[in-house]
Amino acid sequence: MIPAGRPFPVPRGACFAQNLTRNSNTTSGLKSFKQPTTLNDPRQFPVKAKVSPQKLIDRYKKGQSDAVSLLHQLAQVLQFHLEIKETIASDAPPPLPVKEESCVFDIRHNRASSETKIPVNKQIPHAVRAQLSRLMSCHPQFSGCAGTIAAFLLQTSSECKVVALGTGGFNTRESISSDGRIVHDSHAVVTARRSLMRYLYRNLLMFYSKNPTLSQQSVYQHKSNSNLLSLKTGISLHLYVNSLPKGAAVIPSKLYLNPLSISAWKVNSEIGLHLMVEGKVVSVLSSAVENFAYKVVSMSTADKITQWQVIGYQGALLSHFIEPIYVQSILIGDSCCTDVRGMEVSVCQRVEGVTSQLPMFYCMMRPQISLVPSVATCTTSSNQLTLGINWSEGDSTSEVVDGLEGKTVEESPFKSGTTLASRLCKAAMLHRFKLVAKEAQRHDLLATSSYREAKRMAKAYQEAKSVLRAYLRQQGFGSWLEKVSVSDNFTK
């Protein structure tokens, strides 16, 4: 169909009048046909007045006249005005005019094209909202847990799907666990990231499976220049959060970052590293930090994202098998946030220039940061405020963890055992690590004596982490909090 307001294109092939000439020569046996100057000129089609319309129609049915001649003859006999305009067409008769939106072929074609062209910052909130709705519809009694949410999504050429999801906003009030069965940080982004690690472990087991079908379905591929696996070509990872990460991401929009300038030192408590303790955010450069010596603290969410964009989201144990995994974009669905300058400073500008000092495969990956619609409304009135949900693709149901206790609640849809240890705890991660090491026939990793030793054996990862933390300290952003060693000394 030709859009309105545009000239008709000239196609290859004969025009309608030329087709008519060929048809007339064939059907009537005439040697030539002189095209009339006016198609409704009665001199060109002499008709006796006594000829009835039915006879004209019978002659047409017998092949003694063509359709155009019949129309003109009927016009003369019945005495009505007929005007036929010559149009340019292909060998086939011109199609009937149809509105563009009603054409089935065009609808399907345009829909497919539009889906592939929908930007990722529109696909992701829709996918997260849909997955959250599915989880909440199965267990509506925990709908109050969805106030804060973070999710990781994998995008391919054909789809954009949620593979890991987490909610929550608390640190445990319990003391440091020595058996690896307490989750100390249950903030949404941390929970989602640990859920992502479970997804990555699951795909490693698929990759090393003896079943070719399962292996092919894995997200990993071998690279010729490395002993480590990588995500398949064409797969990208994205992060969605529905609240601005606490810490350095929340800074004045007019702040200009220059760590060595006098003005920057005046605001170092805002752009430096931060701690999370008892629901509060405190700068590591603050004198108040000394008061938290005997409390469970963790680095702020913004600082953790900064670190993961340099050393990867896979963690130390997975680094034995795969290359660093980074997110290509961070989408913030915070209705109270007006710009992303704080995230740009926190995640990108603070570590600008560190890449040259990092070991092979590691880099400062600058993500695309943007504001998008929120998929959930943050709330502080819910009686489930301390609870958090975790889920990853492949899970039969979600798990609910009490952030203050660091363990699964009795009412959780999924419970791993009577101890109520979360499937996100360190002990659970070590168990998955051993399973993968066995499938990959990594006897050196199976021989490790503790969780701590297995992490230390990831030499490149540990080097990258050390380089990053030294760089942040040298730039004046403060020192990274070191974990209590006893928390990683468990063996199973």
Task: Specify the pLDDT at position 97.
Answer: 40
Q: Which amino acid is at 232?
A: K
Instruction: Decide if pLDDT at 459 tops 90.
Output: yes
Sheet of 274-277, strands arranged across: 280-283, 274-277, 298-299
Q: Name which of 166-180, 262-276, 472-486 the model is least confident about.
A: 262-276
Q: Is the model more confident about 361 or about 106?
A: 361
Check if the beta carbon of residue 24 is closer than 8 Å to that of residue 39: no
* DSSP letter assigned to residue 250: S
Q: Where are the domains of the chain?
A: 16-113, 120-488
Tokens coding 233? 């070509």
3-state SS class at 229: strand
Tokens coding 459? 């030499």
Q: Work out the number of other CB atoms within 10 angstroms of the CB of residue 453.
A: 14
CA distance 168 to 402: 9
Task: Specify the pLDDT at position 198.
Answer: 98
Instruction: Decide if pLDDT at 26 tops 50.
Output: no
- Mean pLDDT confidence for 182-186: 93
Task: Specify the pLDDT at position 51.
Answer: 77
Judged on CB neighbours under 10 Å (0-12, 13-18, 19+), 172 is buried
Task: Report CA torsion sign: 230, 234, 235, 239.
Answer: positive
Instruction: Decide if pLDDT at 36 tops 60.
Output: no
In which band, very low, low, confident or very high, does the pLDDT at 378 lie, cut at 50, 70 and 90?
A: low
Task: Specify the pLDDT at position 55.
Answer: 83
- What global pTM score does this model have? 0.74
CA distance 127 to 232: 21
Tokens coding 323? 């290359």
